[in-house]
Amino acid sequence: MEPLTIVLIVLGIAAIWAVVELAMTLRKARTTLDEVSHSATEAIDQATPIISKLDGVVDELQPALREVTPLVEKVSVVMDEATIGLDNVNGILGDVGTATHGVAGVGESATRIVNTATSAAVGVVSKVASLGGITIPEGQQLIGKGDAPSEAAQPAAEAPAAQEEPPARKGGYVTYAPVTGSESEE
């Protein structure tokens, strides 16, 4: 056989093999396209009810969406009014603070006046009592006249008795034991 014939036979076999491969590839491609087409059809069939439900939801939301803009405007107006109200409250609280400060000053002045009047009245009563020869025992000093007597000012005999008998409390007031004649003479 000639070499040209051998080459032609080999080329013929290669051509047949290429045609068979091409046919098999086209068959696989057609099968794959059919599967893809079938899957796409199923997906579309399943998506159709979902899309129609979404269309219904959007249709139902349309009236609500129309109401959102006026609602936002109303909320904006309410927020502006609330801000103005809070500004007014701040102004009122500032005025109340000023008034409270003024009232506190008046209260302090009133306290000073009452203390001065009380001290003057105690001084007058003490003067009248001393002019009349009345002596006020140490345990029964008038309100506002000096401090409570110290332990050093009390006689030594009374110190233990005062420690043993604390003043009695009745209704929130302190009451002292009555002064007898023997105690006042000392």
Rounded to an integer, the average pLDDT of 116-141 is 71
* Interatomic CA distance for residues 68 and 66, integer angstroms: 6
Q: What pLDDT is stored for residue 103 in this prediction?
A: 72
* Interatomic CA distance for residues 28 and 51, integer angstroms: 34
Element (H, E) at 175: strand 173-175
Report the range of poorest mean pLDDT among 35-39, 48-52, 137-141, 174-178.
137-141
Q: pLDDT digits over 49-81, tens only?
A: 888 888 888 888 888 878 888 888 888 888 888
Q: Is 35 exposed, middle or buried (0-12, 13-18, 19+ CB in 10 A)?
A: exposed
Residue 173 forms beta bridges with which residues? 170
Q: What pLDDT is stored for residue 186 in this prediction?
A: 45
Residue 170 forms beta bridges with which residues? 173
Q: What pLDDT is stored for residue 138 in this prediction?
A: 57
Q: pLDDT digits over 101-113, tens only?
A: 777 777 788 788 8
CA dihedral 23, 29, 35, 39 (to 10 degrees): -160
Q: What pLDDT is stored for residue 35 in this prediction?
A: 93
167 pLDDT higher than 90: no
